[in-house]
A and B are shown apart, each in its own frame.
Chain A
Amino acid sequence: MFRYLGKRLLILIPSLWLILSIVFVLNKTALTQTASSFYSQESKTGYQSGQEEGKERAFQQYLHRTGQDLPLFYFSLHSLAEPDTLSRITAPRDFAFLKKMLLTYGNWPEIRRYYQSLLRFENKVSRVSNVAVRNKLQRAVDGLFVNTDPSQTKLYLRKCCTFLHVAQAKCPLEEQLNAVIDKAQPWRSFVPALHWNGVQTQYHHWFTQLLQADLGLSLRDSRPVAGIIGEALGNTLMMVLATTAFTFLLATLLGIWLSHPAHFRWRKPILSFLYLLDTIPLFILALVLLLVLSGSGMMGIFPVYGLENTAHDDGFFARIFSQLYHLTIPVFCLTLANLPYLSNQVYRALQQVESQEYIQTARAKGLSEYTVIGKHALRNALLPLITLFTGFIPAFIGGALITEVIFAIPGMGRLLADSVLARDNPVVLGIVLCLALAKMLFMLLADGLYYLADPRIRFR
């Protein structure tokens, strides 16, 4: 068996590496931060100020300090037309303009010259004292930055050249643009090119740290990611394990009970009720339970929110009991939400086994109905249950967000959602690692349980 599990483990390690690497690259590409979105801090009195240039400068220093200014991966793939230095253009307007120009004309040296002339001209415009003229010219410059269509661009250029007091034929901007158009090589935009970035990359730093079991520090509060995830996982795990235990126990009991021929008349109403329960959205179920069981005007026997209500110096058992008390409704809610599907699965699996001949034989031997179901049918109905069981816990670890938000439990779902919104990449990657690891370990567990439950797998 250990050889079998060892083999599976060897396949899992490269899968884990691949998942994490893909998530790292996707995460960095999708969750990019810009200077304007970085500055969310208010002053002591809630007043915000600061010049845009200062913000941009400080933001670049922040990227440098945290190593986020390095290339993302060992190599980058872009078009032949695109220079390596394009990523250094941080102003979104300019970056979008250059990308568009490269796609249309493909000749970087000419585009760069035209772009630099445009910037010089814009600078000149900003020093014009007549506000009306300045506005008019700024509109023309904005138009030049948005349009790459020559007919449109030339209209804007006409305005600019009039301002420069030069004939359009000699207008430097016009000349630069003509050079871009004349020497256009649009095909370069469609030829892919690989560029080697060296070892000093964000991926390399992150992966080297990861190999040393270091998940890094959170960008939000400088705490070690492993500690943050450990805290959240601890909070979630108790809820998940309790829910899994209750759900599977109840589902199995209900499945067995429904399979008993004596309870035939109850099948239809119970299955209909379970179907109805399954259609209720989780947040409605959670809120109804909260109102009924915790509302002051209703039963009011359980706490409304939180995970514990203990003081700093309270003992271990006081904390555990407090947590159990606080988790009663969330666990009840999650159990109710998952019970219909699971009990249905158990019932269907038992029904399939019931038609087998060995069950008829067991009945013919005169065994009681519960012995037939419990001892003979259930063992053979276990295989689909093992798949459900091992998929259940990893799915719950990151997926109990709604329950965690409504009952104010600081678990993994909330941590993941908050970290994604705050662009806290180290924490996001740490959670992905944790989820992937859980998924894989439970797959391994499923393999092990199959091996134990089904002798046919053992002999294969």
Chain B
Amino acid sequence: MTTKNKSTFLLLLLFFLSCCTSKQTSSNEVRVRFPTDPESLNPINYQTSQALQILNLLFQSLLTVDYADNTLKPMLVEGLPTITKQDSLTLFTYDLRKEAVWDDGSPVTAQDVAFTMKVMLCPLVNNENIRMRYEPVRDVKADPNNAKRLTIVCAGFSPDMMLLTGDFSILPAATFDPKHLLAGFTIPQLISHFDSLSKDANIKAFADFFNDNRFTHNGTALRGSGGYILEDWKTGQSLKLTKKAHWWAESLTIPYITAEPSQISFSIIPDNTTALLALKNDQIDVLDNISVSDYARMQTDANIQARFALLSPKTYDITLLGMNARLEKLADRKTRQAIAMMLDVDNIIKATEQGYAQRTVGMVSPHDTLHYNQAIVPYPYDLEKAAALLREAGWQQKNGHWQKEHRENIQPLTLNLQYRTGDPAMENLALIFQESAKKLGIPVELQAEEGRLLLENRKTRSFELYLRKIGGNPFSFNYKSLFHTEAAGPNGRNDTNFGTAESDSLIEAINQASDVQTKANLIKRFQAVMHEECNVVFLYNPTLRLVVSKRFTNLKISGLLPGYDISSFKLGNL
């Protein structure tokens, strides 16, 4: 290479590197890793939890969860709703905060809430995902004398209705329907004339306007009453949110309604190893959904410990084993209890979650001391006792295998266990169970399935045993759709066919109870019945595993997803 060539090359290299040096982050910016793109930020039709996290920063709902104590609190409203029961209807009356305004200074009114409900129930609108949830809603009545007062009318009553009425993004009618196309329709009309209204010109025009991608991607259109605006979105790469210059809630000084960081950026990094490297390189501040092995390694890394807070809040999610009691071989409760005793849960927690989980006996999380039934002793890992129970259930051991005479046929005791493929925790759990059952002479066939196939199998009841994780929350204890015998039919969610006369009446009583202690006692009794029947063996509550830079304080860590309240992050001393 000649001297001239060398200097040209060096100059080019210098220019290249100077252009590309990574930009320093502004100090009050929080950088979060997302494993996938949020895809759509339409407040009515979103698909991912990432989208939900961003929507919570752009839009506000009537009620919110305070991550500091995991309770429901008023957000856009002055207080929790007044609940009135009128015959078969329940009325939820809310008073919107006087200070609440949209970005143009116009007040958030009852008409905006009614408009949002109309959008959620309107034909032709891309709202199928949310509409079925709002089927109990009959009307939203705005008070003619008070623009800030509204009443949401629901059919019947269930304990989760308050959450339902307060848990949706309120949209500014002026932005989402500037031509007032929905103004001529009432909510009862939209419900009762759903099919005929799909031919109406105004409804068609509104649906075309609303379904457009301006309300899935465009930061200018997607502006609610939240503290942030979507400044930039490079699809598949990153999103940037900037704090509003003048936000109405700034003056409120309510600790759970916050917008502390001046900027929040989300980087989309699909691979976990790359995300970890980005964390170590100080390119991101928040990393969640960390695998147990990586989390355990980070706990021994002094460099990480010095710069990051390693957090593992207890979740309300539950890992469980379901048994199909419709099948003759699993119809006897004692057989199911015997299977429960083949699960070495304590060792399973060590092997699959490296100890980052808490054993449980029911649908209630053990850290919810008011509702968790501490009197229930979990099924012990006891193969001898399991064998005794199998004998009591009529099974006999011949040539090392279990069998039962059933209608002149010999039915062998073999089991098939389905679980989601690609989940190491589930795979290990299944293998441990298979090994335990083998010791007792019961062959277990393992069947790893793709998530959607597993769901179909549960729905068609084409399973014997399954392993799955289900999400829980501390707000409502409505078990009707999951465990009532009415839900055991062909389309119901009670896939294990659980249910006794007592459990059905307990579910009804829990839903009607208004006194906190009475309700807690009923829930405890319900857990005992479920434990005894053993259609479902509740194994453990896993913990969330996340890491946050020590630059920030006031993290409000919670067991509810995403596990932290990013809007509350304040810059610390590090």
Contacts and interface: CB of A to CB of B under 8 A. Distances in A.
B471 interface: yes
B504 interface: yes
Contact of B490 (A39, A59, A93, A325): A93
Contact of B473 (A46, A58, A317, A422): A46
B126 A324 contact: no
B270 interface: yes
Given A65-B124, A91-B490, A410-B37, A48 B277 contact: no
Nearest to B212: A222
B270 A408 contact: yes
Interface residues of A, number: 88
Given A131-B485, A135-B485, A220-B40, A46 B560 contact: yes
B274 interface: yes
B270 A62 contact: no
A43 interface: yes
A122 B489 contact: yes
A119 to B, nearest CB: 9
Contacts of B490: 91, 93-94, 122, 145
B39 A91 contact: no
Interface string A296-329: 1100100111111101100001100110111000
Given A46-B52, A49-B164, A304-B274, A296 B281 contact: yes
Nearest to A128: B485
A93 B488 CA distance: 14
A300 B217 contact: no
A309 B23 CA distance: 7
Interface stretch (A109-117, A266-274, A286-294): A286-294
Contacts of A305: 267, 269, 274-275, 277-278, 283
Interface string B249-292: 00000000000000000011111011101101111000000000
Contacts of B473: 45-47
Contacts of A208: none
A44 interface: yes
Given A41-B46, A58-B132, A410-B237, A222 B216 contact: yes
Nearest to A34: B456
A408 B489 contact: no
B460 A96 contact: yes
B231 interface: yes
A57 interface: yes
A51 interface: yes
Contacts of B64: 44-45
A43 B491 contact: no
Interface in B188-236: 211-213, 216-217, 231-232, 234-236
B269 A408 contact: yes
A138 B489 CA distance: 8
A49 B216 CA distance: 24
A231 interface: yes
A139 interface: yes
Interface string A386-415: 000000000000000000011110100011
A55 interface: yes
Contact of A304 (B277, B491, B501): B277
Contacts of B216: 221-223
B167 A44 contact: yes
B129 interface: yes
Contacts of A311: 23, 232
B273 A287 contact: yes
Interface in B473-532: 473, 475-476, 478, 481, 485-493, 497, 499-501, 504
A237 to B, nearest CB: 15
A126 interface: yes
B331 interface: yes
Contacts of B213: 217, 221-224
Interface stretch (B14-22, B88-96, B396-404): B14-22
A308 B232 CA distance: 13
B39 A220 contact: yes
B392 interface: no
A295 B268 contact: no
A386 to B, nearest CB: 31
A296 B213 CA distance: 40
B352 interface: no
B163 A47 contact: yes
A127 to B, nearest CB: 10
Given A37-B452, A43-B168, A322-B20, A49 B160 contact: yes
Contacts of A39: 129, 132
B75 to A, nearest CB: 10
Given A44-B167, A59-B128, A221 B278 contact: no
Given A138-B326, A304-B281, A304-B283, A50 B455 contact: no
A19 B561 CA distance: 44
B39 A222 contact: no
Interface string B110-142: 000000000000011010111111010000000
A296 B235 CA distance: 27
A91 B489 CA distance: 12
Nearest to B169: A44
Nearest to A310: B23
Nearest to A39: B129
A145 B45 CA distance: 36
A93 B135 CA distance: 25
Nearest to B232: A312
B407 A44 contact: no
Contacts of B124: 65
Contacts of A142: 326, 461
B128 A62 contact: yes
Given A304-B277, A414-B236, A126 B491 contact: no
A457 B560 CA distance: 69
A441 B56 CA distance: 46
A384 B127 CA distance: 55
Interface string A325-339: 110000000000000
Interface string A88-101: 00011110100000
Nearest to A323: B20
Nearest to B168: A44
B326 A139 contact: yes
Contacts of A126: 486, 489
B497 A131 contact: no
B36 interface: yes
Contacts of B269: 305-306, 408
Given A46-B560, A46-B561, A296-B280, A36 B132 contact: no
A228 B135 CA distance: 34
A38 to B, nearest CB: 8
B131 to A, nearest CB: 5
Give the 3 A-B CB pairs with smallest separation, nearest first: A410-B236, A325-B20, A54-B132
12 contacts: A34-B452, A44-B55, A45-B163, A51-B132, A138-B326, A221-B216, A290-B277, A304-B281, A306-B237, A325-B19, A408-B271, A422-B39
Given A304-B283, A405-B270, 14 more contacts: A34-B459, A37-B452, A40-B129, A43-B130, A43-B163, A44-B55, A49-B478, A52-B492, A53-B491, A138-B488, A155-B407, A304-B278, A410-B237, A418-B37
